Structure 1
Amino acid sequence: MSAHGKQEITDPVEEMLKRTGCINLHYKVQECIAETQDWRRCQSQVAEFKKCMQLYQEQRFKGVV
């Protein structure tokens, strides 16, 4: 509980993304979609995020993470 007596609500997806190290790239994708209102215009951000997640999965598979 916080100092104000309210329990913090954690988003399980956000927690998982923090562990991958790709959370900031996820935020970039979200920001782009919010700004453009069209995910198709955010392909460079999506590609960056995808690459980060693939690297995380490869490291996890090898037991590095």
Structure 2
Amino acid sequence: MATSPPHNRSRSEDEDDPVDRMISRTGCGELHYAVQECMAEQQDWRKCQSQVQTFKDCMTSFQTSQKQLNKPQQATAKSAHS
């Protein structure tokens, strides 16, 4: 039985990229793809600033909401240790 060495393995098309999975959990996946598509078409990131800004705003909103969700848990954990 012949097996290919690990460095010759290719990822299948349907295997998720860890970065794509992480971004899709934020709800900003479509905006991320819009940035990638623009960059592929334009070949100049400076021409994609509106897409980049929209994606950045989405990620910032997600991060802010995550911090808000984690605040009560952290406060509760601190008071439990006091």
TM-score (norm 1): 0.83
Instruction: Compare CA radii of gyration and give the structure with the larger one.
Output: 2
Q: 2:34 aligns with which of 28, 32, 49?
A: 28
Unaligned runs of 5+ in 2: 1-11, 71-82
Residue aligned with 1:29, SS? helix
Q: CA RMSD in A?
A: 1.5
Q: Report sequence identity in percent.
A: 53
Paired residues, number: 58
Unaligned runs of 5+ in 1: 1-5
TM-score (norm 2): 0.67
Q: Which has the higher helix share?
A: 2
